[in-house]
Amino acid sequence: MANAPKNLDVVHLTQALITRPSVTPVDAGAMDTVQQVLESLGFTCTRLKFGEIENLYARRGTAAPNLCFAGHTDVVPSGVRTLWRYDPFGAEIHDGAVIGRGAVDMKGGIAAWIAAVSRHDDQNGSQKGSQKGSQKGSLSFLITGDEEGVASDGTIRVVEWLKDQGEIIDHCIVGEPSSSAQLGDMIKVGRRGSVNATFTVTGKQGHVAYPQRALNPLPVLVDLLGTLKARVLDDGYDQFPPSNLEITTIDTGNTATNIIPQDARARINIRFNPAHTGAQLCAWFEHVAAEFAAKTGAQIDVKSTISGEAFLTEAGAFVDLIADVIKDTLGLDTDRSTTGGTSDARFIRALCPVVEFGLVGQTMHQINECVAVADLEALTDTYSALIEAYFSKFGSAS
């Protein structure tokens, strides 16, 4: 399989990106491929490397409004190779689908938007990125290599850089695989927040036959987790489902059968709606831990990390525009959803209104991840129509 795009065809570009095994934090040349194509379309590209992570910001034009497409070239590991029917980085086409890690999450989405820009230029008489036709403003790309990882050196750092540079983005489309069962049946207009916490309970090791000489941390931890889990966080929030707390691991590392362990730890995650903030939930963790420490005599340490706050892009002209274009090109009344996990939209929302719209996500992160060729073509058509409609509605005067 060729490693270079051919004629900005969406399928060839998707294949070219998949053949770059860019498992976070490795780039493997994926960002070079994106940069090469964008420069051929007249974009000025700025590479931003933070730590090990390759990022890219590209812009074509200087006028407002600036419509940005955001995405990521990094992918999750392929998993057990023998379970794949074909090479996870081979990008082979079988039964009308491109197969490979990142096909839908989200190299196919990046390829579709780039191909849409090229198609839009062709339809409007633009040559090599000149601003003819209906582009009455600017187009930009924010591409990171750190969405699937800890995300500390990716979009969040690029957003800080954009603010420092005084760069204005007016609206943003994130090309995550937002569609549920059919292309265009769902867009994401918001996301729940996410907070992780690790509770470590330290007691006193001892022989199981003499519990009075020890302090077993496990019952303390179990009761503490029970108290956390018993709380009904909320009954939902406008356009959001209820918040949920999940216990993700409990560990002691004890390999003996006759020892009360010295310590025990557990991790939890809460996906929360705008009824809460990450700081409020972290304060609750500390309060519960302090109560149990005072009651039991055990030492309890809490380490919390806020991955992102809940947000909602309010209904209005931008969201309506996307829904109208989906209706016109795909014939669907799209669901304006806030479900699912987190995405880099949580960082971009500090700059501008942001909506996620991309491929069907049913195979993302799975063995044999794949994307239908027909969906790639249809998404490219829809993105092209969206660019046209955006500048018709929001664009500056010629």
The SS3 assignment for 93 reads strand
Which one is catalytic: 74, 153, 167, 375?
74
CA–CA distance, 194 with 268 (Å, rounded to integer): 11
For the CA atoms of 341, 339, 160, 167, the dihedral, rounded to the nearest 10 degrees, stands at 140
291 annotated ligand-binding residue: no
Residue 176 marked ligand-binding = yes
List of residues 6+ apart from 358 with CB closer than 8 A? 104, 106, 108, 109, 112, 174, 175, 176, 177, 178, 179, 379
Closest to 343 in 3D by CA, of 214, 204, 212, 156: 156
Enclosing H/E stretch for 191: strand 190-191
Quickly list DSSP for 20-39.
Answer: S--BTT--TTHHHHHHHHHH
C-alpha span between 155 and 145 (Å, rounded): 9
The helix (run of H) or strand (run of E) holding residue 195 is strand 193-202
Determine which one of 27, 54, 146, 147 is catalytic.
147
Instruction: Tell me whether residue 356 is annotated as binding.
Output: no
Q: What is the DSSP letter of 105?
A: I
CA distances to 96, 99, 137, 383, 394 from 389, in Å: 30, 32, 12, 10, 8
171 known member of a binding site: no
The widest CA-to-CA distance across the chain, in whole angstroms, is 85
Give yes or no for a contact between 382 and 322, defined as CB atoms under 8 angstroms apart.
no
Spatial neighbors of 283 by CB under 8 A, at least 6 apart, are none
With beta carbons less than 8 A apart as the criterion, state whether 348 and 159 touch.
yes
> Does the annotation mark 381 as catalytic?
no
282: number of CA atoms within 13 Å, CB side? 16
Per the annotation, does 148 bind a ligand?
yes
* Rounded CA separation 32/29 (Å): 5
Catalytic: 147?
yes
Task: Give the residue numbers of the binding site.
Answer: 72, 105, 148, 176, 365
- Which positions make up the binding site for Zn(2+)? 72, 105, 148, 176, 365
Active-site residue list = 74, 147
